[in-house]
Amino acid sequence: MTLIFGSLWGIVKFREHIKDKRFNTYHKLIDELVNEQIQPDRKIKLDRQIAIIYELRSFTNYFGVSARILDGLKKEWSNGNERVMVEIDLSLAYMRKNWLCRLIKNK
């Protein structure tokens, strides 16, 4: 019984650790993406922005808020680089598909 409880406790703690790590990673990516508005003297490279926008697709738990953030950035950056706008559109389209379509598309 103790072995079962210990194993379950370990699984619970591991899942909490993974969830916390994903939370921190997500917020770090968002911070890097929008930090240019907060600190105008810090310029993020275009390819890094595109990579971050693409990586937001990996955070399915945050699709709702990610889509709202990307919609807002698209309006805010309307005169921005076309490559970034294309990546925002692609990521928004991906996030708005249902999970089954995403699963089939990835195969």
Q: Per-residue pLDDT tens for 50-106?
A: 999 999 999 999 999 999 999 999 999 888 889 999 999 999 999 988 767 766 766
Question: Is residue 5's pLDDT more than 90?
Answer: no
Q: What is the pLDDT of residue 43?
A: 64
Q: Within the chain, what is the greatest distance between any pair of CA atoms?
A: 63
Q: How many whole angstroms separate alpha carbon 6 and alpha carbon 15?
A: 14
The reported pTM is 0.77
Q: Report which of residues 40 and 27 the model is more confident about.
A: 27
Q: How many CB atoms are located within 10 Å of the residue 70 CB?
A: 19
- 13/24 Cα distance (integer angstroms): 16
Quick one: CA dihedral 35, 38, 41, 46, positive or negative? positive
Closest by CA position to 58, among listed 84, 30, 86: 30
